[in-house]
């Protein structure tokens, strides 16, 4: 009986009233168990969605950055507006999941594109600065040297 997970045990001779009470309790218990299972499943589903949401958020942010990389207006505000999410929550989740701050990610992506342009084109430094979304050439020059250790012109000379 224990292996079969019995609910109750009724002795003979069976009292119809006692049987009715035990059956009612058994049905109620089965319904409660089923409800608890549904709630547990719903909670597990919600937790799975919460774990998935930040990963989807990071992907959405990265796609937004790639689409708008050449815009000097690319910043947390613009991204948050475009993907319709709170700016602080977005920044926190991005940093937590991607392991880098959003502003540093944007700068790194711009530098990656700038290096590609320096390697493959004859664009002037001003043109490259404009195409990679830097607001002015001196800021581009400073950031490039800070991240790569050489000036953009030195990088171009070394990689040609």
- Which backbone phi and psi does 133 adopt, to 5 degrees? 85, 10
Which pLDDT belongs to residue 159? Answer: 87
Which pLDDT belongs to residue 146? Answer: 94
**79, 101 contact by CB (below 8 A):** no
Which pLDDT belongs to residue 52? Answer: 67
pLDDT tens digits, the chain, 160 residues: what are they? 677 778 787 888 888 998 899 889 989 988 999 999 999 998 888 877 766 677 788 999 999 999 999 999 999 999 999 988 889 989 998 999 899 999 999 999 999 999 999 999 999 999 999 999 998 899 999 999 999 999 999 999 998 7
Which residues have a Cβ under 8 Å from the Cβ of 95 and sit 6 or more positions away? 101, 102
Residue 84 gets the label, from left (phi > 0), alpha (psi -120 to 50) or beta, of left
Give pTM, 2 decimals. 0.67
């Amino acid at each position: 009986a224990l292996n079969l997970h019995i609910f109750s045990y009724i002795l003979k001779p069976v009292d119809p009233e006692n049987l009715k009470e035990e059956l009612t309790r058994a049905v109620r218990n089965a319904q409660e168990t089923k409800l608890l299972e549904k709630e547990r499943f719903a909670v597990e589903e919600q937790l799975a969605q919460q774990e998935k949401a930040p990963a989807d958020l990071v992907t959405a942010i990265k796609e937004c950055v790639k689409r708008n990389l050449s815009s000097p207006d690319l910043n947390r505000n613009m991204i948050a507006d475009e993907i319709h999410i709170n700016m602080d929550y977005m920044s926190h989740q991005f940093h937590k999941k991607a392991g880098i701050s959003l502003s540093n990610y944007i700068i790194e992506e711009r530098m990656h594109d700038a290096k590609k342009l320096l390697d493959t084109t004859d664009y002037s430094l001003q043109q490259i600065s404009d195409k990679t979304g830097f607001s002015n050439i001196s800021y581009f020059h400073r950031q490039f040297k800070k991240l790569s250790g050489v000036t953009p012109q030195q990088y171009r000379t070394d990689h040609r």
